[in-house]
């Protein structure tokens, strides 16, 4: 008969050999996986998804190109700014050629040069308006959602006053009263009417996050209001605001073009795609190139920002994963 003590010793040695030690490779691998899981977050996952998203990559390339054109338009033209005095009436409505890709407008101005230099005002309006809207609407929404009660009620009722005013109609009324306008004036007017949307989104997002366990734990550990809102609430509530801001940027560029088309936005001697389309609206049958190229530039710009916004929305929405 086999000794039971020997059998027990063999089982013990077998179990010990099969169990990874605290400092063994298996334990290190497990710790590495746990660390990697802790480091993974919504933002890192979103960046990873965006890198593989062709819609985002195409939109991002177009946005970078448009920003570059608006920042240094002289790189894409003859090097000198557009000068209305350089226009020659003998070139009026000449069609595109090898020397002048986009042809000439009714004043004998090169359409390509005007289209490139007009990008600056349109991009300025989109970026400045979106920045102002995110700052004003985001800060007020954060305060209203976190404070609640009387503060939330007052800010919400105040926001509803502006929210009831249509963007284009309100912009037309304000710009008509101001008279001469430029890109900066149009940006301030559009931001004045556009921030309530961001306010509502930020307020709703803060209300969803402020009662989560990590906020309760931070408060229990003695964290102050400023630290909780900036280190815990804001990073988790800002994702939908960024998405809406990216999509709205293209909307504000379209709004500027509409105001300039009506003659109450950017005014000459400044150049705008909306102004170019307005100048060409009566000649698009006889000289379609005068309308086609600025309208195409406007459409591509709006489409690029909307593509980026849609891709960011999909990447930041956990429900779509």
User: Is 155:140 a contact under the CB 8 Å cutoff?
Assistant: yes
Per-residue model confidence (pLDDT) at position 242: 87
Cβ neighbors of 307 (< 8 A, separation 6 or more) are 55, 56, 58, 59, 62
CA dist., res. 290 & res. 280, Å (int): 6
Q: Which CATH architecture has domain 40-73+112-320?
A: Orthogonal Bundle (1.10)
User: Is 280:105 a contact under the CB 8 Å cutoff?
Assistant: yes
User: Is 43:285 a contact under the CB 8 Å cutoff?
Assistant: no
Closest CA to 136 of 184, 193, 185: 193
In angstroms, the Cα distances linking 314 to 42, 60, 90, 142, 239 are 12, 15, 52, 23, 11
pLDDT tens track for 208-255: 887 777 777 877 777 777 777 777 788 778 888 888 888 889 899 999
Closest CA to 187 of 308, 272, 310: 272
Per-residue model confidence (pLDDT) at position 137: 93
Cβ neighbors of 170 (< 8 A, separation 6 or more) are 193
pLDDT tens track for 18-69: 444 444 544 445 444 444 444 456 667 778 888 888 999 999 999 999 999 9
User: Is 233:144 a contact under the CB 8 Å cutoff?
Assistant: no
User: Is 137:199 a contact under the CB 8 Å cutoff?
Assistant: yes
Higher pLDDT, 217 or 284: 217
The DSSP result for 70-85, as a single string, is HH-GGGTSSSS---GG
What angle, rounded to 10 degrees, do the helices at 149-163 and 183-209 form? 140
CA dist., res. 128 & res. 184, Å (int): 8
Under DSSP, is residue 208 helix (H, G, I), strand (E, B) or coil?
helix
Domain boundaries, the chain: 40-73+112-320
In angstroms, the Cα distances linking 313 to 49, 310, 317 are 11, 5, 6
pLDDT tens track for 103-121: 888 788 888 888 888 899 9
């Amino acid at each position: 008969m086999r000794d039971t003590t020997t059998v027990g010793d063999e089982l013990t040695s077998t179990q010990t050999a099969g169990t990874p030690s605290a400092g063994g490779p298996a334990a290190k691998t497990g710790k590495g996986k746990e660390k990697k899981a802790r480091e993974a977050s919504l933002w890192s996952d979103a960046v990873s998804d965006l890198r593989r998203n062709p819609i985002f990559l195409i939109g991002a390339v177009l946005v970078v190109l448009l920003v570059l054109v608006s920042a240094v338009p002289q790189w894409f033209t003859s090097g000198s700014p557009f000068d209305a005095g350089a226009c020659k009436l003998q070139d009026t409505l000449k069609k595109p050629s090898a020397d002048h890709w986009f042809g000439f407008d009714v004043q004998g101005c090169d359409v390509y040069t005007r289209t490139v230099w007009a990008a600056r005002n349109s991009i300025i309006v989109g970026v400045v308006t979106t920045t102002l809207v995110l700052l004003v609407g985001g800060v007020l929404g954060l305060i209203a959602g976190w404070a609640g009660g009387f503060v939330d009620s007052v800010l919400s009722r105040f926001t509803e006053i502006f929210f009831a005013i249509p963007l284009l109609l309100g912009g037309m009324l304000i710009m008509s009263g101001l008279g001469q306008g430029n890109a900066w004036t149009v940006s301030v007017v559009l931001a004045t009417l556009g921030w309530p949307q961001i306010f509502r989104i930020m307020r709703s997002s803060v209300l969803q996050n402020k009662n989560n366990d990590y906020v309760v734990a931070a408060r229990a550990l003695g964290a102050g209001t400023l630290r909780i809102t900036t280190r815990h609430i804001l990073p988790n509530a800002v994702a939908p605001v960024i998405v809406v801001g990216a999509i709205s940027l293209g909307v504000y560029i379209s709004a500027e073009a509409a105001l300039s088309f009506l003659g109450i936005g950017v005014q000459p001697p400044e150049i705008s795609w909306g102004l170019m389309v307005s100048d060409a609206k009566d000649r698009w049958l006889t000289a379609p190139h005068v309308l086609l190229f600025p309208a195409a530039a406007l459409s591509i710009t709006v489409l690029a920002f909307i593509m980026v916004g849609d891709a960011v929305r999909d990447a930041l929405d956990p429900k779509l994963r």
